[in-house]
Amino acid sequence: MDADDLRGRLDPMILAVLERAPAHGYAVIEAVRARTGGEVALTTGSVYPALRRLEVAGYVTGHWSTEGGRRRRTYQLTATGRRQLVTERSRWLVFTELVGRVLERPAT
Amino acid sequence: MTGIPGSTTAPAAGPTIESYLTELASRLRGPRRFRAELVLEVRAGLEEATAALQEAKWPAGSAERQAIADFGSAGRLAADFQPSIASRAARRVGLIGVLMPILMVGWATSWAASPAGGGEYDFHYLLSDLLYLIGAALTVICVIGLYRLTDRRALGDRVLIRCRRLARLHLVVVTIFIAVAGLLTALNFDQVTQVMGHGLPLVVGLASLILMPMLWVASIGATLSAPGKQSG
């Protein structure tokens, strides 16, 4: 799966990962990789700016913590972010439904 | 959207983490604290990625180079981070601007109670002058802040550029007003000076009331229309 396939889906995917538990940037990448069986590997260069963007939009909040002697910025979904995720899920269902109709194999 | 699973060979040469972070820091624009925080977060991400690759049996040097390659060029990363820095900084500048109407009300009240305004106490006259100076200083700080936090090369958002133009116009108008008021005061045009004395805080206050909400809207707009938005 390449970048074009995932264009426009990065933010909802990050929100969906954070819905389960707060996570730092690299953990988000690991979670997406694990959930997709390794088929989708987000790049660090896209995830970290996206997390900051989502923070500015008020969908997540970030705070610094230290784990294993390493400082990390952990992000948590906000109530606004949760509502945004619900909206994004609905949009995705409509999108897949409509595109599915177009791509459907003609009846023989 | 390639990552570790698809990458089996690291670039043969490339920057070290330190030189990459130095370049990133030099390309970011905005308040030092925001920039330092981003660089720290990228450092944590690079170290995390390098460690993960090493656990997957990559040699140390290759792991570091691959981790850096996954982040992309420092220039691109800085451009992707810039809107969020600009947005946070614009909000901060805007918060300073919120003080302006409060100062203007304080100024008007004090001036009305001062001898020049028909009141009795010298203290009010001094207070009104002080508030007037603070108001003018805050205007300059807000405009300079707006200029410093944005970089046209990194953030070409049209709304923000229009706000910069408005801020520049605001500064020019206020400067001219102060200069004319000062000149008339020097020439002892008392009546005119009193009118200007009323008008200056009005001009500064009203312009700031328009400018600051625009800054907030622009900062949010710039963030939402960032080049890296929703791209993998």
Count of Cβ atoms closer than 10 Å to residue A22 Cβ: 16
Tell me what percent of the residues of chain B surpass a pLDDT of 90.
Answer: 14
Q: Which residue among B1, B44, B88 sits closest to A1, beta carbon to beta carbon?
A: B1
Per the prediction, chain B carries an average pLDDT of 70
Contact A53/B40, CB-based, under 8 Å?
Answer: no
Question: Which residues does chain A have within 8 Å of residue B30's beta carbon, measured at their own beta carbons?
Answer: none
- Of residues B25 and B60, more confidence is placed in B25
Q: Are B172 and B179 in contact (CB under 8 A)?
A: no
B-chain CB neighbours of A45 within 8 Å are 70-72, 76-77, 80
**What is the β-pairing status of strands A60-67 and A70-77?**
antiparallel
Question: Can you give the C-alpha Rg of chain B in angstroms?
Answer: 25
Contacts of A37 in chain B (CB under 8 A): none
Give the max Cα distance, chain B: 83
Contacts of A57 in chain B (CB under 8 A): 220, 223-224
pLDDT of residue B79: 85
Amino acid B23: pLDDT: 94
Cβ neighbours of residue B63 closer than 8 Å, sequence gap 6 or more: B10, B49, B50, B51, B53, B54
Q: What is the pLDDT of residue B58?
A: 87
Rounded Cα gap, residues B149 and B171, in angstroms: 17
Q: Residue B214 contacts by C-beta under 8 Å, 6 or more apart in sequence?
A: B163, B166
Which of A35, A39, A46 should be substituted to probe chain B, the one whose Cβ sees the most B Cβ atoms within 10 Å? Answer: A46
Interface touch B49/A26, C-beta < 8 Å: yes
Residues of B with CB under 8 A from a CB of A: 1-6, 37-38, 40-42, 44-49, 52, 67, 70-72, 76-77, 80-81, 83-84, 87-88, 220, 223-224, 226, 228-232
Task: Please state at what angle helix B60-71 crosses helix B17-27, rounded to 10 degrees.
Answer: 20
pLDDT at B74 (0 to 100): 92
Q: Which letter does DSSP use for residue A2 in this model? A: -
Q: What are phi and psi of B20, to 5 degrees?
A: -65, -45
Contacts 24+ apart (CB under 8 A), B71-77: B71/A43, B71/A44, B71/A45, B71/A48, B71/B20, B71/B42, B71/B45, B71/B46, B72/A43, B72/A45, B74/B15, B74/B20, B74/B23, B74/B24, B74/B27, B75/B23, B75/B27, B76/A45, B77/A45, B77/A48, B77/A49, B77/B24, B77/B42
Element (H, E) at B100: helix B74-113
Contact yes or no for A43 and B1 at CB 8 A: yes
- Mean pLDDT, residues B175-189 taken together: 64
pLDDT at B1 over 50: no
CA distance A63 to A101: 43
Residues of A engaging B, defined by a Cβ cutoff of 8 Å:
1-3, 5-11, 24-26, 29-30, 33, 38, 40-46, 48-50, 52-53, 55-57, 70-73
Residues sharing a CB contact under 8 Å with residue B144, sequence separation 6 or more, in sequence order = none
Confidence of residue B46 (pLDDT cuts 50, 70, 90): very high
Q: Flag whether pLDDT at B20 surpasses 90.
A: yes
Question: Using the 8-state DSSP alphabet, how is residue B59 labeled?
Answer: -
**SS3 of residue B134 by DSSP:** helix
Interface test with B, best of A52, A60, A66, A72 (most B CBs within 10 A): A52
B69-123 pLDDT, tens digit per residue, is: 988 899 999 988 887 887 777 777 666 666 666 666 666 666 666 666 555 556 7
Task: Name residue, tokens 């953030």.
Answer: B155
Binary contact (B228, A55; C-beta < 8 A): no
Q: What percent of chain B has pLDDT over 70?
A: 35
Whether residues B1 and A55 touch (CB distance < 8 A) is answered with: no
Give me the mean pLDDT over the B56-66 stretch.
88
Using an 8 Å Cβ cutoff, are B223 and B85 in contact? no
Interface confidence, given as ipTM, is: 0.84
What is chain A's pLDDT, residue by residue, as a tens digit (108 residues)? 666 667 778 999 999 999 999 999 999 999 999 999 988 888 899 999 999 989 988 899 999 988 777 888 999 999 999 999 999 999 999 999 999 999 988 877
Q: Which residue has the tokens 């896209």?
A: A46
Q: Which stretch of B29-38, B136-145, B188-197 has the lowest confidence by average pLDDT?
A: B188-197
DSSP assignments along A40-71, one per residue:
----HHHHHHHHHHHHHTTSEEEEEEEETTEE
Question: pLDDT value at position A71?
Answer: 84
Q: Are B226 and A47 in contact (CB under 8 A)?
A: no
Asked whether the beta carbons of residue B2 and residue A41 sit closer than 8 angstroms, the reply is yes
Q: Residue written as tokens 């220039």?
A: B75
